[in-house]
Amino acid sequence: MTTATLVPDTLAAQFAVIVGERNVLSDTADMAAYLTEPRDLFRGVARCVVRPGSTAEVAAVLRLCNEQGICVVPQGGNTGLVGGQIPGQDGRQGEVVLSLKRMNAIRETDQASLTMTVEAGMTLLQVQETAEAAGALFPLSLASEGSCTIGGNLSTNAGGTAVLAYGNARDLVTGLEVVLADGRVLSNLSKLKKDNTGYDLKHLFMGSEGTLGIITAAVVKLYPRPRATQTAFVGLKSPHEALALLNLAQAMAGSDVKTFEIIARFGIDVVLRHAAGSRDPLNTQHEWYVLMELASQLEGGLEDVMMQILEKAAEKGIIDDAVVAASLDQRKAFWKLREELSDMQKFEGGSIKHDISVPVAKVPEFLDRVYPAIEAFMPGARMCPFGHLGDGNIHCNVSQPLGMDKQAFLDRWYEMNEVVHSITTSLDGSISAEHGIGTLKRDLLPQVKDPVAMEVMRALKKTLDPRGVLNPGKVV
């Protein structure tokens, strides 16, 4: 039986009336790109893919599906890494994928209030570029920004490289438009910085991964564009020195410290081996590196501040070497080393990835403990940790031992999870810092979440989606 035969003609016709025949995909080949995700860990089966072009169409589709008990899996750019955007693998629930990529309009740019109202299907890069054209900055930045969508970013509460200065995705929103499971539209596209009229409902939906409602539009915050930027690549001995450098930089530059990324040497080697045009950032190799960026609204003086930080750090023995980008091209070369890390790991064989966070002060302890723990669990496994030291989020990735069979390595995914997550939770950390729960971590969540918190989450799900049609099998 082909996937196409799973769609009754009457149902396809009903969807077609709402969104147009060309926006209902039921052929297996046409649906293929919607049914698997970047890591190829999850492959789903769907009745069809429906592509609405407006909030009214999303509402009509959800109303129809809710009435008939048809499950809906919302999807943006399909860049998620925990399977939250992929339907189930057995097809028994007959899920419909609801792609929001056609909803990609800017509804309003308000320069006076520094806000922009955007539809959920816009790519993050489009939102950034539109803000830039208006002389402003939208600071959310991810490696997948060319293909991920703002709706997906908000539904997973994405983080990225600028959380230290601007916060997670939920901190960049003043209002939302959300379609509920039964097709009702919750319209709260507010620009207000202050509004104490009851519960702040928008925070229910950001981070809920489409299990409580489908975000169709948002009012996002804009910021003045920095007039000066300084970027440094720093070599040092360990994460302890990296934390000391972070503390020093914040003491000397305050809120001008916008990015503070840590990278193990193995990660640099991976990029140098596999990414064309990449170059070693320093003349000598170091065990650890920091990519630090300062940005200011003042046109002058930032270069002096960066040099003062680095000179002070060198005097204190915190850093071993550093180079400051002398041009835009050199800055891009520095960022290439960071942004290519995840993609280049695939050329080293299997990679088991962890998206954890611990209190910033405990990051060095986490790394001190996880290295020997992984070696004891799987001798020869190659650690490739990197991430956002400034907010405590470390992508604790592990590449397979040289010569090991890839599938045999990946088959031990959950055992390795136990090693990494046990250290994480012992340090009051989180097993999901910015990627979400999805399918990958759903069964892990009750093991680490407060039982009362789980009860409240399930009660919210039952209240807002009593028939369980929104993104089944995800999060709760």
CATH no. for residue 171?
3.30.465.10
Q: Which domain holds residue 326?
A: 228-342
374 shares a domain with 402? yes
User: Whole-number mean pLDDT of the chain?
Assistant: 95
Please tell me the distance from the alpha carbon of residue 373 to that of residue 89, in angstroms, as a whole number: 33
296 shares a domain with 190? no
Instruction: Report pLDDT for 398.
Output: 97
Under DSSP, is residue 209 helix (H, G, I), strand (E, B) or coil?
coil
Instruction: Report pLDDT for 332.
Output: 96
82 shares a domain with 37? yes
Q: Is residue 474 part of a domain?
A: no
Residue 42 makes CB contacts below 8 A (sequence gap 6+) with 36, 83, 86, 89, 439, 440
Q: Is residue 182 over pLDDT 70?
A: yes
**Average pLDDT for residues 103-127, to the nearest whole number?**
97
Q: Is residue 7 over pLDDT 80?
A: no
**Average pLDDT for residues 390-416, to the nearest whole number?**
96
Q: Is residue 275 part of a domain?
A: yes
Under DSSP, is residue 293 helix (H, G, I), strand (E, B) or coil?
strand
CB 88 within 8 A of CB 113: no
388 shares a domain with 365? yes
338 shares a domain with 239? yes
356 shares a domain with 331? no
239 shares a domain with 319? yes
Instruction: Report pLDDT for 94.
Output: 87
The proportion of the chain whose per-residue pLDDT surpasses 70, expressed as a percent, equals 97
Single out the residue in 99, 134, 166 at which a domain terminates: 99
What's the helix, strand, coil split of the chain in %, to 5? 40, 20, 40
Please tell me the distance from the alpha carbon of residue 432 to that of residue 358, in angstroms, as a whole number: 10
Q: Is residue 453 part of a domain?
A: no
253 shares a domain with 203? no
Single out the residue in 99, 115, 132 at which a domain terminates: 99
CATH no. for residue 319?
3.30.70.2190
Q: How many domains does the chain have?
A: 4
Q: Is residue 193 part of a domain?
A: yes
Q: Is residue 42 part of a domain?
A: yes
Single out the residue in 342, 360, 384 at which a domain terminates: 342
The helix (run of H) or strand (run of E) holding residue 164 is helix 163-166
Q: Is residue 187 part of a domain?
A: yes
Instruction: Report pLDDT for 6.
Output: 47
- The tens digit of pLDDT for each residue in 9-36 reads 688 899 999 999 999 999 999 999 999 9
Q: Is residue 3 over pLDDT 80?
A: no
Name which of 91-100, 187-196, 243-252, 315-324 the model is least confident about.
91-100
237 shares a domain with 338? yes
Q: Is residue 348 over pLDDT 90?
A: yes
- The tens digit of pLDDT for each residue in 406-443 reads 999 999 999 999 999 999 999 999 999 999 999 999 99
151 shares a domain with 92? no
Report the greatest alpha carbon distance in the chain: 75
385 shares a domain with 321? no
CATH no. for residue 55?
3.30.43.10
Core vs surface per residue 403-428: b (16+ CB within 10 A) or e? ebeeeebeebeeebbebbbebbeebe
The proportion of the chain whose per-residue pLDDT surpasses 90, expressed as a percent, equals 93
Question: CA 292, 240, 247: angle at the middle one, nearest 5?
Answer: 50
218 shares a domain with 251? no
CATH no. for residue 372?
3.30.70.2740
Q: Is residue 449 part of a domain?
A: no
Instruction: Using CB atoms within 10 Å of the CB of residue 365, give its burial: 0 to 12 exposed, 13 to 18 middle, 19+ buried.
Output: middle
Q: How confident is the model at residue 8 (pLDDT cuts 50, 70, 90)?
A: low
Residue 133 makes CB contacts below 8 A (sequence gap 6+) with none
Instruction: Report pLDDT for 302.
Output: 97
Q: Is residue 355 part of a domain?
A: yes
Instruction: Report pLDDT for 208.
Output: 97
Predicted TM-score (pTM) above 0.85: yes
Instruction: Report pLDDT for 74.
Output: 98
Q: How confident is the model at residue 1 (pLDDT cuts 50, 70, 90)?
A: very low
Instruction: Report pLDDT for 224.
Output: 95
- The tens digit of pLDDT for each residue in 263-290 reads 999 999 999 999 999 999 999 999 999 9
- The tens digit of pLDDT for each residue in 35-92 reads 998 888 889 999 999 999 999 999 999 999 999 999 999 999 999 989 999 999 876 6
